[in-house]
């Protein structure tokens, strides 16, 4: 084990997988000597050079299209899109080509392609650089959607994403890049895609979250423990495929569920989880599923207004207290 930041864990995962498999390569804007807009590929170019770490022109559609062609011909490309907001410039390529080509060719091809990008608010980057759009990609059959919350998760999930033979949207969080944690230095350290993790066991209420909001949920759970409210906190890790078994197993103990997400509340992942619980676990509920999410507004530039718009630990704790009001 070694202590490293979230961004260092990502770079280490890329280096290990490029060492392991000569077919792995990386491409994107400023991913070469500069080391990526968020410094999450520092050292990769110095080790592997410009044939395998390719700086591209500023065209997200061209970047993803080139990576798709590479994947179809036997390579395992890792793409970096600077901000998840910029995926709007290549959504046709992602949604209509990358996600569908294996199905349309009857499974005769594989698409081992990882699209790394980052989202989330909290840095006053304003409306076009602060969105949490994982729900868009989770709604597209053919894509896996992965959202790591810690340095260890970032490394283990990225390595698994690179090794899988289907396209993966690997969504990092801009606020987490400097977070530190213990990370395995085993080059075969993997975290399986599609398996949630019970980060904190509890008996009274289940909190389901991912990425940065998972860490804020743990802060809320710590505060509520002093009030004799015992929260079980689940890190989804993967939005698609969604580990409903883990959610239902927890709900069978607690009877109450809060979903916390940084995406907008309307039509979000919390809404999808709520619907599935109604279909698969209605009898387990002692009250309605509740959600904490970003307000249905573009993310403000103003730090004060941004804080109002997005979730935080206090809002999460308040939502849980309300679930127990009058009991």
Q: Looking at the annotation, which residues are catalytic? A: 60, 129
d(CA 22, CA 13) in angstroms, rounded, equals 14
Alpha carbons 308 and 144: distance in angstroms, whole number:
31
Nearest to 272 by CA among 254, 253, 252, 247: 247
Cα separations in angstroms, 259 against 78, 148, 167, 305: 30, 17, 26, 23
Contact 310, 262 (CB under 8 A): yes
- What is the C-alpha separation between 35 and 53, in angstroms, rounded? 10
- H or E segment at 4? strand 2-5
**Distances 95 to 75, 158, 168, 307 between C-alpha atoms, Å:** 20, 21, 12, 32
CB 63 within 8 A of CB 56: yes
The pair phi, psi for residue 167, each rounded to 5°, is: -70, 140
d(CA 218, CA 103): 39
Q: How far apart are the first and last CA of the chain?
A: 45
Other residues' Cβ atoms within 10 Å of the Cβ of residue 195: 14
Q: Note if the bond before 241 is cis, omega within 30 degrees.
A: yes
Strands (E), 108-203: 114-119, 144-146, 168-173, 180-183, 197-200
Parallel, antiparallel, or unpaired: how do β-strands 53-55 and 114-119 relate? unpaired
Length of the chain equals 327
Q: Check if the beta carbon of residue 13 is closer than 8 Å to that of residue 159.
A: yes
DSSP bridge pairs for 128: none
């Amino acid at each position: 084990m070694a202590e490293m930041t979230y961004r260092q864990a990502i770079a280490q995962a890329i280096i290990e997988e490029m060492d392991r498999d000569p077919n792995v390569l990386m491409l994107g804007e400023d991913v070469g000597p500069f080391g990526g807009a968020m410094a999450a590929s520092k050292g990769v170019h110095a080790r592997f050079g410009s044939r395998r770490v390719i700086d591209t022109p500023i065209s997200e559609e061209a970047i993803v299209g080139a990576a798709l062609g590479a994947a179809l011909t036997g390579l395992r490309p890792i793409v970096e899109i600077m901000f998840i907001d910029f995926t709007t410039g290549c959504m046709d390529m992602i949604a209509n080509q990358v996600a569908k080509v294996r199905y349309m060719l009857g499974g005769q091809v594989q698409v081992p392609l990882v699209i790394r990008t980052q989202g989330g608010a909290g840095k006053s980057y304003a409306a076009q650089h602060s969105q949490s759009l994982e729900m868009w990609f989770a709604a597209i059959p053919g894509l896996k959607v992965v959202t790591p919350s810690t340095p260890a998760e970032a490394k283990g999930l990225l390595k698994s994403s690179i090794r899988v033979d289907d396209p993966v949207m690997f969504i990092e969080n801009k606020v987490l890049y400097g977070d530190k944690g213990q990370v395995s230095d085993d080059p075969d350290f993997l975290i399986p895609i599609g398996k949630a993790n019970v980060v904190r066991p509890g008996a009274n209420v289940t909190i389901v979250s991912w990425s940065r909001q998972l860490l804020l949920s743990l802060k809320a759970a710590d505060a509520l423990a002093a009030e004799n409210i015992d929260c079980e906190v689940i890190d989804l890790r993967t939005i698609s495929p969604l580990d409903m078994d883990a959610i239902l197993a927890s709900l069978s103990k607690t009877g109450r569920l809060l979903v916390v997400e940084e995406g907008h509340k309307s039509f979000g992942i919390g809404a999808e989880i709520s619907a599935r619980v109604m279909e698969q676990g209605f009898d387990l509920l002692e009250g309605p599923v509740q959600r904490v999410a970003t307000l249905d507004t573009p993310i403000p530039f103003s730090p004060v207004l941004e804080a109002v718009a997005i979730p935080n630990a206090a809002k999460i704790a308040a939502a849980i207290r309300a679930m127990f009001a009058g009991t």
